[in-house]
Structure 1
Amino acid sequence: MKNEVDSRFVLAVFEKIREHGKQQDEYHVLDGLKAWTDFDGYTVFIEDAQVQLRFGFHNQYHFEYDKSEHLEQFEKKLKQIDEKY
């Protein structure tokens, strides 16, 4: 995920968080990651305490983070959820 985000991977992890995570208001939380969609469902959000991924229509995405090591840890969490569930 260094240069491009694999849309299938992101959406698969998003669904796993929704299926296996605990619902808290409009969010689902699993293994330190929180996931939700915008009001129309075209944009999904996945975040932890240090990184937010916004993934939307036409596979457009944006990461918000302060340090590159935060992004690396976030990517590891995504991969762990994908492999675990």
Structure 2
Amino acid sequence: MKNELDSKLLLRVFDKIRQHGTKKEDQYHLNGITAYTDLDGYTLFVEDSNVKLQFGFHNQYHFDYDSESQFDTFEKRIKQIDKEY
């Protein structure tokens, strides 16, 4: 996912988090990852404690993190959710 987001993977993982995760208010939590949408549902947010991903209309996205190791951990968690569920 580095610099190139696999949108199909992200959407698949987002759905798996919603299906299998724990819902708390308007957010879903699974394996250290939180997933939620904005009010209109056009923008998805997927994050852990160090990395925030905003994925929006027309497959536009933005990552926010401080170090490559934080991103690598986030990426591993995302891929693990995709494999496990």
Question: Aligning the two structures, in what range does the TM-score lie when normalised by the shorter sequence?
Answer: over 0.9
Q: CA RMSD in A?
A: 0.6
Q: Partners of 2:6 and 2:43 in 1: how far apart?
A: 15
Q: Deviation digits for residues 26-50 of structure 1, max 9, x if unmatched?
A: 1000000000000111100000000
1:7-41 Cα offsets, whole Å, 9 max, x none, are 11100000000000000011000000000000111
1:40 aligns with 2:40: yes
Q: TM-score, structure 1 length as denominator?
A: 0.98
List structure 1 runs of 4+ shifted beyond 3 angstroms. Answer: none
Corresponding position of 1:62? 62
> What TM-score comes out, normalization by structure 2 length?
0.98
Structure 1 stretches lacking a partner, 5+ long: none
How many residues are matched?
85
Which structure 2 residue ranges, 5 or more long, are not aligned?
none
Match of 1:78? 78
Aligned pairs for 1:5-24 (under 5 A) are: 5-24=5-24
Fraction of identical pairs, as percent: 55
CA–CA separation in structure 2 for the residues paired with 1:4 and 1:70: 16
